[in-house]
Chains A and B, each alone.
Chain A
Amino acid sequence: MTSTSFTGRPRRRLTRRSVRISERVARVLISIGGLGTILAVTGILVFLVWVVVPLFSSAQFEAGSRADVAALATDSQDRRPLAIGIDEYQLVGWALRADGRLTSFRVDTGESLEDRELVAGSQLTASSFSVEGDAVSLGFADGTFRQGRLGFSTEFVSGEEHPELVAKLAGGPLARDGNTLVQLTPEGQLRVQRLAVEFDAPLATGGASRVVRIDHSTRGSSGYVCALDADGRLFVEEVERRQNLLTGEVTSTASQHQLPYAHDPARGAPAFLALGGGGDVVYLAWRDGLCQRYDARDLADVRLAEEVDLAEGSAELTALAFLIGKSTLITGDSEGRVRGWFTTKPAGATTSDGSTLVLAHELGDGGAAVSALSASSRNRVVAVGRVDGRFEVYHVTSGDRLAAARTPDESALSGIAIAPKEDGLVTLGGVHAAHWRMDLRHPEAGLTALFSPVWYEGYEKPEHVWQSSSGTDDFEPKLGLVPLIFGTLKATLYSMLFAVPIALAAAVYTSEFLSPRLRAPLKSLTEMMASLPSVVLGFLAAIVIAPFAQDVVPMLLASVVTIPGALLLGAYVWQLLPAHYAVRFSGKTRFAAIFFALPCGALAAAIVGPLLERLLFAGDFLAWLDGQSGSRFGGWVLLGLPAAGALVLFAMSRFVNPAVRRISASWSRARCARFDLAKFAAAVVATGAVACAIAFVLDGLWIDPRGSVLDTYVQRNALIVGFVMGFAVIPIVYTLAEDALSSVPSHLRLAALGAGATPWQTAVRVVIPTAMSGLFSAVMIGLGRAVGETMIVLMATGNTPVMSWNMFNGFRTLSANIAVELPEAAQNSTHYRTLFLAALCLFAMTFVFNTIAEVIRQRFRKRAYQL
């Protein structure tokens, strides 16, 4: 077929099939590839968000089965449950009754599996259970106590070997076999759950009367039991447990220490006894809220440390439990308040151990009286049951309410227990047992925990803390991102303070004053510096620069003043040159002279630095920073210097210079130059004097500069990072700024010069304002680089997540933190997701800076185009 073209002549040739096909294929491929690549790139952001989002998702909570446990009757006091528990598969629960019998039951049906006397032949009068693990201690009417373990033993058997069990399972996945519960697992094995109870031989408490309250704790290899008997005697028993390696026989011995507890018959016996983790603190609490805390660090000399009211007003203390770690006390009272208490060590404490019990957390907004409390064995999570059948689950540190529900029959809850894996909960109200499934997700990392101050256990006040791991088990991860964001900002601030003025000034000089022949090689050299691997910079910072800098801190600080000083002095001397020489040498020679001024400035710093150190800082600047020696005066001089400089500069430009300009109109060039030199000398002297005056005033006010931006010197610190990061940031800012300056159309420059402006006036009043947005975008790009830089900060800071503006101290940035911790974080753990959040924060910060830069650059381009 032929088609007709617009000329009217038939087209003789057709496009070859292969060409058409390849055209189409190319279009499709390129579109798919191109769009796919771009999509893949946005996928990064999507993926990060996808990993982070579960951190903020709320806990899942749903009702499971409910059943009546016949073995527990509410009518009789004896059958009232003292404590309940549940196994890790949430199939079997147990309850210890007041009559000393232990009953285990199926959670789904309430069917009783086993009902036995916990310890045969003795009358149980007190009991205590561990928060973590399955240790138990029991007190008896005859004044003895026993330690033991109450838990579950799980056994896996194969169905082939036990056909009788398989037969029982015909009706469903669960079946009772004697006093055990058998479950068919998805892997085809049979899991046999059995209550495991084991007790050591009884030990005497030291008195023969009934044990009323008991609690236990461990420190290292020795265990402690605290027992109160009916005669009002309080003992701490140090229990040594030895296992014979051959026979497996366990022998325990106890040594008694009686505590100076005075029984007050009017008040009665305390309702609660709690022995802190490590056995070094004993709490006694009465119904009316009085709590006595005994300092038992030295068992031979136990003292009453303090008395605190745990329930103000008319409220009655109704429940008390330890959180995991046995340091935080959770109390519940008759007014429905649930509160967390722990000891802190404030500076002015008057107690014998220097610490006081403080109310750190108020959980929830109250409600009906608290009747049951149970802490999780994994986390700082506590379940609270109330008399109206409501219950809640709280994360104590953050104070967040994770879940809340109400039992259908609204009976008062007598027991509540969190499953060992924290994935379920069992409540007991009367004879009604209810099972609830839950998924707490990431309770320790909510928005508040990540970004606002949190009151961690043992801290004096709410603080921002990042401490993601530790050696101990009951350690609480502290995931405050603020110290890391602070570190990132500190690194950025100090490096930008150093890099931006230098980069911009260097760009101005390059584009406006440097001879063109030098321009190209210098520019390529600086561009090359931009691709210098940052690991090299980090290594040099850590190995070479930081140790060197530590020896010459005064000189370095002095060089901040002397190097610009030397340059200015050079300029004023240069002005003394007759005009025609000045013009002739304004190219390379002047640059060479400038180059010469640098080492002169450094040399001056080497002389002045130690001199000032001797004058102002008692001869040792580092010791002065440490607060060991010297007066406040020197520090204020140091800090006052920039302010004084700015003040003098302002005075000069506002008052002196206009006057000088008026009177110098008729002066010769040489006279002007000499006057200028004198003015410079005067300014230097004035700056020093003003700084001293500022220092004198502030010193007189007894304010110490140490503790702010000046404080103890650490070898790897913000100054080092600022300096070395300059190597990474200066080239970028310089290149972009220079591009922006040189793309200012030359006709503007020529017009300004033609109108009589000097090159400096042209640069400052014409070129820089025109290129301003380009310069700003250059700074923004540099900022983005500084924020995300990893290797330099990783190697050249101490990586300590502290929050202080001290320029001689280290910090930890988001990026370094990710590099250090992510390889060790378990996939999908809270820590892992928090590190992803850190990455997302970095992404967001750089995104903001880069977008600002980009938008401004687009505007700049448009404007430059119009010119």
Chain B
Amino acid sequence: MSALLEKAALRPKPTLKRQRKARRATSLFAHGEPLVWLTGGALALSVSMIVGLLGLVIYQGGSTFWPIDVVRVDRTSAGPLMGEVAVDETYRPESSAFAALAADAATRARADVDARGGVERRRMLRTGNYDLTGTHFNWVSDFEIGSETRPDWALVVERTSWGRFYGVPCAFLVDGETRANDPAEIWKLYDEQHGPARERFSKRYRLEQHDMARENRTLDDARLALRAVEIAHGKNSPEFATADREFSATQARLQERFVAIGNEIQSLNAENARFKLELETADGARAKLDVAEIVRAYPANQLTWSQKVGVYFSRWGEFLTDVPREANSEGGVFPAIFGTVVMTLVMSILVVPFGVLAALYLREYAKPGLLVSTVRIAVNNLAGVPSIVFGVFGLGFFCYILGSSIDGLLFAERLPNPTFGKGGLLWAALTLALLTLPVVIVATEEALAAVPGSMREGSYACGATKWQTIQRIVLPRALPGIMTGMILAIARGAGEVAPLMLVGAVKLAHDLALDTQLPFLHPERSFMHLGFHIYDLGFQSQNSEAAKPMVYTTTLLLIGIIVVLNVAAIGVRTRLRRRFLANQF
């Protein structure tokens, strides 16, 4: 529209004959072209900021699982290195950087670098083998390199502990005897044995983590029951004596179970200890790795494209379904995904009914006036209160006051160890419910307001009561709007971290909040959260360089979840709008 008008304004007017010179309709300066460009530049800048940010996360998060070649670098002045290139950059070497080289090599290198304007390329190799070398990464500048190769049989080995191992296979051992020496044969044997060994390994893991833990919990419960009797009746009462006898019986029975499980674990370990893969590192050291401890191994430089895709997706699979290992910097984030989902679900179960009730009250029942508009301002205001303030409230009120009272009433036998009197899933969900309440109230109110008054009046005219009208006419039409509010609340809740740091998110939670143990949902447990996982890995990790890929993928996952939720909300909103448009006529 405006463009058209502008065109009209610029078109030369039919000149009158009297007027010799055509007066320009508008001065060029009036168009303010430079300022328009500045405003456009601001828009372009913000668009490129977000596109760049998303692009960075998608690129880094998407590419980190892709298997890359293993490079072997023979340095002129130090031992050889072998590993994957993690960073590739240029820098300006100081003169001390050449000190390690031999004198003539140093002069040559310096001359080379100077010829390139003092800039040199350097790469950071992920060389792994932390148990042998004590480092995960090594920098290597191009001038140090004597020769660079990609060995055919360089294996990338991901282990359950100590991080990655890079080496060339030199033997496959069964019961200490060498079964194969040739890399191809070793690889074949490894392939055969790895599956069964891993199965035994995970069986052992299950025994340790589930069966053993279950028995431990039974023992704990028995101990707590005994303590409860002690609190109720005193230590010298007959009740206590009976309970004590029962406890001893349980303890004895469990002891047997412990021994049985222990034996089973021992035999699995013994079987697994038979198979070892011997690898030679770049500098000639040899290491025997338990086959069972190897999560994944592949000869990186021989992989075909389809095998690479296989490794890529197998890593994603592990990432999404497995538990973290190596201080969260390897393995998966399943507990964090699970924690986020369960916490968000509990939160929405809490927030939606109350939000809808409040909105119904404000819009349908309360008499409009000063009070209602004050409340509305307060609700809008609440939406702007910093999330950390909610966290402070959650910690102070839910955990310390409500939780401690619950502990005192119901879990006295566990004191002084808090049950509810600390951060936990329920308190986190409640805190976030308060945080997202304004979102739901505002969205629901808008949806309720959008239901045409004529429909309500029609309903009343037919003799329906207020509640019948709300129930059958208003709510169904407002449902998409309420859904939008809920999805937006979930998106906000899923991405919020600051309050969770105070009310229950932890670095590592062994027990999921939802499991097969009665009563299935354990609202008092601490939980892992994707957002907190990012904070913890990216900010507090000991080995932040090794954790980087993991943070990017977790970030990608979190952003993915939130974008999907937002897109869903936008989708619902457009459908809602369309429906109303259709109803206007």
In the complex, are the beta carbons of A509 and B43 less than 8 A apart?
yes
Interface members, chain B 326-377 (any A CB < 8 Å)? 353-355, 357-362, 364-366, 375, 377
In the complex, are the beta carbons of B41 and A594 less than 8 A apart?
yes
In the complex, are the beta carbons of B495 and A846 less than 8 A apart?
no
Count of interface residues, chain A, beta-carbon cutoff 8 Å: 131
State whether the Cβ of B482 lies closer than 8 Å to any Cβ in chain A.
no
Chain B residues in 8 Å Cβ range of A15: 465
In this complex, what residue of B is CB-closest to A22?
Answer: B467
Count of interface residues, chain B, beta-carbon cutoff 8 Å: 109
Interface-located stretch among A411-419, A567-575, A635-643: A567-575
Interface members, chain A 214-262 (any B CB < 8 Å)? none
State whether the Cβ of A152 lies closer than 8 Å to any Cβ in chain B.
no
Interface members, chain B 1-45 (any A CB < 8 Å)? 1-3, 5-7, 9-10, 21, 23-45
Bound CA span A494–B535, Å: 23
In this complex, what residue of A is CB-closest to B544?
Answer: A543
In this complex, what residue of B is CB-closest to A828?
Answer: B400
In this complex, what residue of A is CB-closest to B29?
Answer: A661
Instruction: Say how far A214's CB is from chain B's closest CB, in angstroms.
Output: 44
Q: A564-B41, A790-B388 are in contact. Are A38 and B566 (CB under 8 A)?
A: no
State whether the Cβ of A583 lies closer than 8 Å to any Cβ in chain B.
yes
Chain B residues in 8 Å Cβ range of A35: 361
Interface members, chain A 264-281 (any B CB < 8 Å)? none
State whether the Cβ of A64 lies closer than 8 Å to any Cβ in chain B.
no
In the complex, are the beta carbons of A567 and B27 less than 8 A apart?
no
In the complex, are the beta carbons of A540 and B53 less than 8 A apart?
yes
Q: Chain B at the A interface: mostly helix, strand, loop or mixed?
A: helix
In this complex, what residue of B is CB-closest to A587?
Answer: B3
Interface members, chain A 561-583 (any B CB < 8 Å)? 563-564, 567-568, 570-572, 574-575, 579-580, 583
State whether the Cβ of A773 lies closer than 8 Å to any Cβ in chain B.
no
State whether the Cβ of B434 lies closer than 8 Å to any Cβ in chain A.
yes
In the complex, are the beta carbons of B9 and A758 less than 8 A apart?
yes
Select which of B25, B51, B392, B559 is within 8 A of A822 by beta carbon. Answer: B392
Q: Chain A at the B interface: mostly helix, strand, loop or mixed?
A: helix
In the complex, are the beta carbons of B467 and A664 less than 8 A apart?
no
Chain B residues in 8 Å Cβ range of A27: 365, 466-467
Select which of B39, B390, B400, B566 is within 8 A of A508 by beta carbon. Answer: B39
Chain A residues in 8 Å Cβ range of B495: 531-536
Interface members, chain B 261-280 (any A CB < 8 Å)? none
Select which of A48, A759, A790, A791 is within 8 A of B6 by beta carbon. Answer: A759
**Residue picked from A673, A759, A795, A846, most chain B C-beta under 10 Å:** A759
In the complex, are the beta carbons of B468 and A847 less than 8 A apart?
no
Chain B residues in 8 Å Cβ range of A30: 357, 360-361, 364-365
In the complex, are the beta carbons of B384 and A785 less than 8 A apart?
yes
Interface-located stretch among A76-84, A166-174, A446-454, A520-528: A520-528
In this complex, what residue of A is CB-closest to B33?
Answer: A571
In the complex, are the beta carbons of B357 and A33 less than 8 A apart?
yes
In the complex, are the beta carbons of A583 and B7 less than 8 A apart?
yes
Bound CA span A639–B25, Å: 42
State whether the Cβ of A830 lies closer than 8 Å to any Cβ in chain B.
no
Select which of B47, B437, B471 is within 8 A of A525 by beta carbon. Answer: B47
In the complex, are the beta carbons of B5 and A753 less than 8 A apart?
yes
Chain B residues in 8 Å Cβ range of A300: none
In the complex, are the beta carbons of A543 and B538 less than 8 A apart?
yes
Chain B residues in 8 Å Cβ range of A580: 10
**Residue picked from A33, A594, A758, most chain B C-beta under 10 Å:** A758
In the complex, are the beta carbons of B31 and A730 less than 8 A apart?
no
Q: Mark A767-811, 1 if CB is under 8 A from B, else 0.
A: 000000000000001001101111100110000000000000000
Bound CA span A847–B355, Å: 21
**Residue picked from A502, A533, A761, most chain B C-beta under 10 Å:** A533
State whether the Cβ of A322 lies closer than 8 Å to any Cβ in chain B.
no
Instruction: Say how far B38's CB is from chain A's closest CB, in angstroms.
Output: 6
Chain B residues in 8 Å Cβ range of A842: 386, 388-389
State whether the Cβ of A421 lies closer than 8 Å to any Cβ in chain B.
no
Chain A residues in 8 Å Cβ range of B33: 571-572, 574-575, 760
Given contacts A23-B468, A26-B466, A33-B358, 10 further A-B contacts (CB under 8 A): A34-B357, A534-B497, A535-B535, A591-B43, A595-B48, A665-B23, A788-B384, A839-B393, A842-B389, A850-B385
Q: 18 interchain pairs (CB within 8 A)?
A: A33-B357, A36-B354, A40-B434, A41-B437, A505-B39, A513-B39, A527-B566, A536-B559, A539-B539, A571-B37, A595-B44, A598-B41, A666-B21, A669-B24, A794-B498, A818-B502, A842-B386, A843-B386
Q: Report B's interface with A, CB cutoff 8 A.
A: 1-3, 5-7, 9-10, 21, 23-51, 53, 56-57, 353-355, 357-362, 364-366, 375, 377-382, 384-393, 395-397, 400, 434, 437, 441, 465-468, 470-471, 488, 491-492, 494-498, 501-502, 531-532, 534-535, 538-539, 544, 548, 551, 555, 558-559, 562-563, 566, 570
